[in-house]
Structure 1
Amino acid sequence: MIQLYKKAPNIFRSQIGFTVIELIVVVGILGVVSSITLTSYSKFGGQILLRNLAYDVALSIRQAQVYGISARSFLGTQFASGHGVYFDFAEGNNTFVAYTDTDNNNFYTSAGTEWVETFSIGPGYFIDRLCVPSGSSSENCAITSLDILFKRPEPDAIIRASVGGGFTQYDRVRIVLASPRGSTLSVLVESTGQISIQRYAE
């Protein structure tokens, strides 16, 4: 007796592979996840670079402090000469100068005789503002020039700032640094010689 076998229909044939809609959805999800990851990484990387910049500025000021209170001579000066840093927005907001006070007037007066080194800030990053105390709790951030000097034997800082005219001495100064994304971080220098990194909120 001959038995006839009929092939059963393949009920799974229509479910093999992805449909176009499923493929579009998967690609869309991957695109969103990738963009979020890249954005977060870029923001995190920018914050790290900004913090590194703040530490570099703070260390440059600390270096001037160490030179100022140690027996170190530059440019043929006496060991008692002070050492400092000078910021001047007229020269740009991405550089500042280390100097030796060769004429002992407690101030940066001549690039030809007192200049030691120019520090440059990385591309896209800049010194956003210089702020000094104004009243009990506010700050004046219209400063255009800043001079910070250290002299033996004390580690104290002589802080002088100007809004375009003469210089006035202050108890502290805040150097606000900014990233290309608009994030900010500040270096606070006090007349007692303390140097710290702080968040900045307007």
Structure 2
Amino acid sequence: MHKFMLKLARFMAATGGLVLTLLIFLTCLSITGRLLNGFFHGNLMQGMAPELAEWMIAIGVGPINGDFELVEAGVAFAIFAFLPLCQITSGHASVDILANSFSARVNRFLRMVTEIVFAGVLVLIAWRLEAGMISKLNNGETSFLLEFPVWWAYAASLVAAVVAAIVGLYMGAIRTFEFLTGRILIWDGVETEQ
């Protein structure tokens, strides 16, 4: 079961990384287009090569229309896509100033409580994201410039949030079992043997 969950989490993270990489290229192209558009509209190009400047402007050299809408939707998906891997590898930030002085049993209890709280929050987020998606679907809201249905972005994020919630529930169950039995099922570098 753990291998499957880990592969699922890695797949989601890779998908989120691919989306983020495409968004970086999109942003770079849009910024380059915006700079070139300004350059072709500038006095230098209008004075030296007005025909070239007008031709470049006419073929559409400029910022990508609606780039910020795509970035907004894509980054939301990417954030949710990275959560499962962060959850299953204990990659969340933690402050262990006091925890290092506790016994292994107390630390396992704290990890169990943390994982259960994370799982609850992830389930809550997925549930509310689903409600938001249904609301956007029913009211037909579209983005301002590209006019794509807003629920598409919600649906993509919902898929990633559901996977994060499933992984969160799985890790909550694992840490609960570890606390109750004293056996460590998943060594992740955080647990210490005492």
Normalised to the residue count of structure 1, the TM-score between the two structures is 0.27
Structure with the largest fraction of helix: 2
Which structure has more relative contact order (CA 8 Å, sep 6+)? It is 2
Higher-Rg member (1/2):
1
Structure with the largest fraction of strand: 1
